[in-house]
């Protein structure tokens, strides 16, 4: 990992893209129920808040492994959210 700033950008981009995908789906499917999409957006926002809080935790002893774990968690949660977005259609 290069630095904390890049990790924060990755978190923002990944979860922002997922939220944008839900908005695109909702726009393309105006007649369908949007409650599932709203739930995905809420989950993405909660994930964002949790991951940023972990990045900003200053009481970490081994920062390298801590940030690597955060990156792995972002990947896992991002994939799960993407699967939910794909299941909307």
Helix 63-88 to helix 35-55 angle (10° resolution) is: 170
Report how far residue 53's alpha carbon sits from residue 49's, in angstroms, rounded to the nearest whole number.
6
Residue 2 pLDDT grade (very low, low, confident, very high; cuts 50, 70, 90):
low
Q: What pLDDT, in 10s, does the model give residues 21-55?
A: 999 999 999 888 889 999 999 999 999 999 999 99
The whole-model pTM stands at: 0.91
For a pLDDT cut of 70, what percent of the chain falls above it?
98
Dihedral angle computed from the Cα positions of residues 63, 82, 20 and 49, in that order, rounded to the nearest 10 degrees = -30
- In percent, the amount of the chain with pLDDT more than 90 equals 85
């Amino acid at each position: 990992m290069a630095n904390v700033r890049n990790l924060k950008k990755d978190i923002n981009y990944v979860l922002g893209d997922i939220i944008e995908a839900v908005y695109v789906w909702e726009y393309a499917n105006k007649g369908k129920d949007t409650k599932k999409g709203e739930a995905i957006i809420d989950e993405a926002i909660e994930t964002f808040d949790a991951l940023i809080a972990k990045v900003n935790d200053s009481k970490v002893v081994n920062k390298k492994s801590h940030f690597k774990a955060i990156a792995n968690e972002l990947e896992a949660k991002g994939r799960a959210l993407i699967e939910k977005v794909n299941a909307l259609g």
